[in-house]
Structure 1
Amino acid sequence: MEPTKPGNKKLPDFDSLNDRIIVTHSSEPMLVIKTNLDPKDSTEDNPYYKNNSRTDTKAFRNYFEE
């Protein structure tokens, strides 16, 4: 008797998928809190912002300033 493989036969093998990014977990927990001491402009002193033509400033501000 052959063992059966459960699951949908139409789904591709997980190892063959190339449209996903799998990152390793952080070595320590992180807590990010927005306070009244934060600058009003989210691009100021932000390590994730790079002032170049590739960065969409409007989308960046929408993301960080909600």
Structure 2
Amino acid sequence: MEGKQPGNKNMPDFKELNDRIIAEPSTSPSLVIKTNADPESAVEDNPYAQGVDQANLEKLKGFFEGREHH
């Protein structure tokens, strides 16, 4: 039995696309440094915060400020 192939039949298979590079995630640690040039608020000038309701805004702030929020 063949698997379902949803979507546009004219779309090439993902493995055949050659117009982009998909890098593997780094196995080494990364360093993130906050500077005084960064905005005070985690949502200021943050495109992810646009159009977010108040409940999710608190979760978003917690994520970007390094706090866990359940």
Give the TM-score normalised by structure 2: 0.41
Structure number with larger C-alpha Rg: 1
Relative contact order: is structure 1 or structure 2 higher (C-alpha 8 Å, sep ≥ 6)? 1
Richer in helix (by share): 2
